[in-house]
Amino acid sequence: MTTYKIPLKTVSENNLREHWAPRAKRAREARGAVFLALGNIVPPQGVRLCRLCRVAPRALDTDNLTGALKATRDAVAAWLRPDLVVKYVHKGKIKRNTGHCDKSLRWEYDQRSDGQNYRVDVELVLRDYRASILSDRRRTVQGLCASGMDPQVIANIMGLSKSKVLTLSE
């Protein structure tokens, strides 16, 4: 698991009754803070879970927590998968829609108190490739055994012991 700390004050957007301009400015500042903190870091490949943790003096309920971290989530998604950022032209200007991300990526939200400090912790959990390789190997061995191939021949081909082939074929 990799953790990045972003100095950012997030507030509940859902209950604020205000003009659209201050809300847009806060979202722009949140995206800018994420790009400033993560822009020079190469995003890791194979991220399975992204947990956004809001650190602030007071807690929010779950609906407001999700809304407070919306711009942060969009910026992290654009950082993780820049190939999925959609660019379009609106009134002669090139705009970016950063809300798109890989469907296999799960998002979780959390919060904790830390005195008077404000920040957002981005925790990335990577896929366990060893488990996926083992399951691929098991399927290959099972398929070869089902076709009637001798377990010793499978062991020689795959570089395994005969007992390992017999274990995987079950």
What confidence tens digit (pLDDT) does each residue in 136-147 have?
677 777 877 887
What confidence tens digit (pLDDT) does each residue in 33-92 have?
999 998 888 888 888 889 999 999 999 998 999 999 999 998 898 888 877 776 767 777
Claim to verify: residue 36 and residue 81 sit in the same structural domain? yes
Which residues neighbour 74 within 8 Å (Cβ) at sequence distance 6 or greater? 31, 98, 99
At residue 96, φ and ψ (nearest 5 deg) are: -125, 130
| Residue-range definition of the domain harbouring residue 154 | 130-168
Q: How far is CA 40 from CA 23, 28, 69, 106, in A?
A: 27, 19, 22, 24
What is the total count of domains within the chain? 2
Q: How far is CA 155 from CA 96, 159, 165, in A?
A: 52, 6, 6
Claim to verify: residue 83 and residue 135 sit in the same structural domain? no
Q: Please report, for the domain that includes residue 65, its CATH number.
A: 3.30.1330
Claim to verify: residue 61 and residue 140 sit in the same structural domain? no
Claim to verify: residue 158 and residue 87 sit in the same structural domain? no
Claim to verify: residue 97 and residue 112 sit in the same structural domain? yes
At residue 167, φ and ψ (nearest 5 deg) are: -65, -45
Q: Kindly state the tokens that stand for 6.
A: 């972003």
